[in-house]
Amino acid sequence: MTRPDYAAAAEILRENDRGAYTVPTKGLYPFQWNWDSCLTALGLAALDEDRAFTEIETLFAHQWPDGMVPHIVFHVDDDGYFPGADVWNTAPILGLATPTSGITQPPVAGFALARLMQRSADPAAFADRARVLAGAIDRWHDWFFRCRDPEGQGLVAILHPWESGRDNSIDWDTAFERVPTDGIAPYTRRDTQHADPEHRPTKDQYDRYLWLVEHFRSMGWDNTRLHDASPFRVVDPGFNGILIRSCADLAELADRLDLPEIAARNRDRAARATTALEALWDEGHGQYLCLDRVTGDLIGSASVGGILPAFATLPPARSAALAARVDALAGQVQFTVPSHDPADPRFDPLRYWRGPVWLIVNYLIADGLRAAGHESTAERIRHDSLRLITTGGFAEYYGPRDGTPCGGGRFTWTAAMVIEFLRKAA
């Protein structure tokens, strides 16, 4: 039994601190990950505000010239992870000083920076650093709408399941069938040496992950071409909900920092995307669904990605329906919020994003629902999240039926979210 207390969580953050960035966990993920870092910064701020800003600054120091912020920064050599820097090969192709991956991840940075500033004991002391970061985050948001919404539909597409953060979600299964596997270079997975293979994506999924990486690499990582050239182009409501929240929060922060153009641009992006999100609502499932941008069809898969827009400010009827959806799911499992609907025959309680509960997702949903006035649902999520630590320790993710700890252990963002939940901010 592990106590979900501040001291235990802080110890994990310190253990995974590499000076100017944190690793998600020792062994399995030995570099800096994009959304891990930004969410971890919230927990770090409770220990050391200056260090929390550094975490996000280190990530943005590796922003690409086109504005993209990569999902991994390979600060060190470590052959314990696959696919490593040599597979992505971005440094030689783009002339980067430090190798990175070539895809992005859910844009939580705008939200995280705004929250750091809102809570800071001395915001004036961090204002200059926040201004620089606000400019960089604005460039990233601009990149999304330029490169991932080239026809100006208002929502952005992901081109690789890893970009969603929800790597092997059932959401991607049908679209993924279009991704071939022929011709990929032979490889050895490393993740299954650190974590139970039954909790990880399958070999068939890895082959397709790799095909996409090799395809994009063969096009020189040119983001003006990748969107139209990818056989996998999915509009994920969760990803877009996060982007909407980050645009809105960045706009508010920019107002306070006296950056009116950044404020206006991001307010406009959030408003347009919120309107466009309506097209992803599915009354039958009582939640949002992904849209396959290649076929133009909604994907009939009731995952937590369709509940995650609760993190953004939505029309009240939508927030209320999502709160009701969480309450209904809570009736089917011991621990909310499962990453997929347990009533779906494809639900798999311990396999990564096909069923397990993730504390970061719980935090984002609870934060939005609380702001929208759904206090009891938010509180249930918070309570379940802390109970998971008691039963399973600071794991990467958990089985929703019995709290089985899965994936990597002593996980950084899980610890950061515990610090957040203990503040009762979400």
Per CB under 6 A, residues contacting ligand DGY are 71, 162, 167, 191
Instruction: Give 10 or 28: the residue with its C-beta nearer to ligand DGY.
Output: 28
Q: What is the 3-state secondary structure (H, E, C) of 78-116?
A: CCCCCCCHHHHCHHHHHCCCCCECCCCCCCCHHHHHHHH
Q: Which residue is nearest to ligand DGY (CB)?
A: 162
Query: How many CB atoms within 10 Å of residue 10?
Result: 18
Residue pair 148/157 in contact by the 8 Å Cβ criterion: yes
Smallest gap from residue 179 Cβ to ligand DGY (A): 16
Instruction: Give 126 or 206: the residue with its C-beta nearer to ligand DGY.
Output: 206
Helix (H) or strand (E) holding 367: helix 359-371
258's CB contacts (< 8 A; 6+ apart) are none
Q: Which of 191, 367, 384, 396 is catalytic?
A: 396
Alpha carbon distance 363, 421 (integer Å): 8
Torsion of CA 220, 225, 226, 228, to 10 degrees: -150
Smallest gap from residue 200 Cβ to ligand DGY (A): 8
Alpha carbon distance 279, 14 (integer Å): 43
- Residue 32: strand pairing partners: 73
Instruction: Report which of 400, 392, 398, 395 is spatially closest to residue 415, judged by C-alpha positions.
Output: 395
Active site residue 163: no
Instruction: Give 214 or 255: the residue with its C-beta nearer to ligand DGY.
Output: 214
Instruction: Give 71 or 382: the residue with its C-beta nearer to ligand DGY.
Output: 71
Smallest gap from residue 238 Cβ to ligand DGY (A): 15
Q: Which of 149, 167, 249, 384 is catalytic?
A: 167
Smallest gap from residue 24 Cβ to ligand DGY (A): 9
Active site residue 167: yes
How, if at all, do strands 397-398 and 297-298 pair? unpaired
Smallest gap from residue 206 Cβ to ligand DGY (A): 9
Instruction: Give 191 or 420: the residue with its C-beta nearer to ligand DGY.
Output: 191
Helix (H, G, I), strand (E, B) or coil at 44: helix
Instruction: Report which of 240, 237, 373 is spatially closest to residue 316, judged by C-alpha positions.
Output: 373
Active site residues: 167, 396
